[in-house]
Amino acid sequence: ATKEVRVEYEKPVDFTKVKKNLLPTVILVGRPNVGKSALFNRLIRRREALVYNTPDDHVTRDFRDGIAKLGDLRFRVLDSAGLETAASSGSILDRTAGMTASILARSQFAVFLIDVRAGLHPLDLEVGRWLRKHAPGINIVVAMNKSESLFDGSGSLAAAAAEAYRLGWGDPIAISAETGLGMQDLYGSLKPMLEDYMLSVLNNQENTDEGNFSDDSSCEIEDSKLPLQLAIVGKPNVGKSTLLNTLLQEERVLVGPEAGLTRDSIRAEFEFQGRTIYLVDTAGWLQRTKMEKGPSSLSIVQSRKSLMRAHVVALVLDAEEISKARRSMKHDEVVIARQAIEEGRGLVVVVNKMDLLKEQEICDNVMEAVPQEIQTVIPQVTGIPVVFISALEGRGQAAVMHQVIDTYEKWCSRLSTARLNRWLRKVMSRHSWKDQSAQPKVKYFTQVKARPPTFVAFVSGKKELSDTDIRFLKRSLKEDFDLGGIPIRIMQRNVP
Ligand code: GDP
Ligand code: GDP
């Protein structure tokens, strides 16, 4: 299941530093009056009265072209509003035929808007056919616009989504171009696609055109299918190299820094069950452990550096030491574990050298004590995975990788605003609020970020959620969406 080790620079995408002519192009399509202009204006941050209010106005709007800002994403956005009004008769197909080729040829992506209040309209299906015919390879996000009712709970998301599915373009997202609700979900859908596109463009561009990249930017990549960055940390001699070599199934991990490359920018890469894993700073610690012969503590500073670059941190402990010391973690190990969680990384604890525990009873004790002790030192996250292995005997390394990948996927999860708000209504009735009259009302709940999952609770009035309330929300999120074992963040904002 493993492949060759390669050494590469890291290449995060920073859209703000990409030249405009290289940015991906997203065209907004849909029948008249679904809200294309409204969305266009929101994306280019122009809020003037560019949206016409009469459903059948015949004002000719030129198709508009602008640079969209959506979180840290930048892309060229085309508003095809002019397409339908360019001619006054005939079907959309006829009216747009002339302009189709040139505009669609410039777009790699489309946001296909429908009006959720009107349901699916015959013209929506016509737009769909038109796209299939003229842009068969284009990547499409279906956006159900005017979805205010889905966010405040008065409308049914399931019913709306079932309609939108009939278009045959997959999972729809709910947005409201006018109020800005759901922009996070639009971001979440576009980001992995745009990022993949940008990576391929920049990789091709690189040799000829330096300087489009910012090497030190820390832009986050949204998609859990993109390479996972794993840091294996632990004290010297706990078995990190041995574990790594069994993972790689060959002794090829010792890739030292080549001339001209800084040690920090080096990473080793391998594949596990079809998934690319980058080992963060591995060359660095391999060097260190060789140089620092025999020191008893791990370098907290170095480990901190590694974990800042990692998505998931595997902290390796020595089972024999644990059974002797009757303590799972030494001070330094506790510090690293806490730092990993505080920095919002996924954490997997690996207890190595289980083969050295000859008696069943000792084995059982260790297996029972470690998870408990971790829970005590990191009370803010429940269910941190612990894997017991023997790297030397080649037992358990696949389990380590499964936990690492599982943790990463949870860490990347993104829940749609509509889904979260349905959940919120249920969960609010479950919570026993201390003081009923002073009870803060959470109006909306939305995920603003993945990696790690970060949420904002919009609280009405000037009230504030207590720590108990926040803990309750976190616990409920973990239980209801299977997010145990990873750090979750909840912020609160007041809304009128
Ligand atoms: P276009 O023809 O597709 O460009 O649609 P417009 O952007 O001109 O919008 C058509 C109408 O829908 C206008 O009256 C907008 O005010 C309204 N509209 C656009 N977005 C929304 C939305 O998110 N919610 C609601 N309620 N109305 C919207
Ligand atoms: P590192 O400093 O964390 O990279 O640790 P190494 O991988 O170099 O291992 C340190 C020592 O522990 C070596 O002598 C290994 O052979 C030994 N070792 C590693 N894993 C195991 C294990 O699972 N069982 C036993 N008995 N010894 C191990």
Range 139-150 average pLDDT: 93
At position 262, the amino acid (one-letter code) is T
CA of 317 to the centre of ligand 2 (A): 11
Residue range 426-460, pLDDT digits in tens: 888 777 665 556 667 788 888 888 888 988 888 88
What kind and span of H or E run contains 84?
Answer: helix 81-85
Instruction: State the sign of the Cα–Cα–Cα–Cα dihedral 71, 12, 346, 400.
Output: positive
What confidence score (pLDDT) does residue 293 get?
A: 41
Which of the two residues, 189 and 305, has the higher pLDDT score?
Answer: 189
User: Which residues have CB under 8 Å from 143's CB, separation 6+?
Assistant: 39, 111, 112, 113, 114, 172, 173, 174, 175, 182, 186
Range 372-380 average pLDDT: 92
Instruction: Give the number of whichever ligand sits closest to the CA of residue 54.
Output: 1
Which of the two residues, 317 and 134, has the higher pLDDT score?
Answer: 317
Determine the Cα–Cα distance for residues 339 and 96; give it in Å rounded to an integer: 57
Cβ < 6 A, ligand 2 pocket: 234, 236-242, 289, 352-353, 355-356, 390-392
Give the distance from CA 209 to its chain's centroid.
29
Going by C-alpha positions, the residue among 111, 114, 187 that lies closest to residue 150 is 114
Ligand 1 atom with the smallest distance to the CA of 61 is 4
Average pLDDT, the chain: 76
Q: Is 146 in the pocket of ligand 1 (CB under 6 A)?
A: yes
Determine the Cα–Cα distance for residues 275 and 266; give it in Å rounded to an integer: 19
Q: How would you classify residue 214: left for phi > 0, otherwise alpha for psi between -120 and 50, otherwise beta?
A: beta
What confidence score (pLDDT) does residue 368 get?
A: 93
Range 350-375 average pLDDT: 93
Range 54-77 average pLDDT: 68
**Statement: residue 348 has pLDDT above 80:** yes
Q: Is 74 in the pocket of ligand 1 (CB under 6 A)?
A: no
* ipTM value: 0.54
Q: Is 149 in the pocket of ligand 1 (CB under 6 A)?
A: no
DSSP label at residue 62 = P
Range 319-329 average pLDDT: 92
CA of 343 to the centre of ligand 2 (A): 28
* Helix boundaries (H) for 278-382: 282-291, 300-308, 319-325, 331-342, 360-377
Neighbours of 231 (CB within 10 A): 26
Nearest CA to ligand 1 atom 14: 53
Nearest CA to ligand 2 atom 28: 392
Ligand 1 atom with the smallest distance to the CA of 81 is 4
Residue found under tokens 């069943």:
360
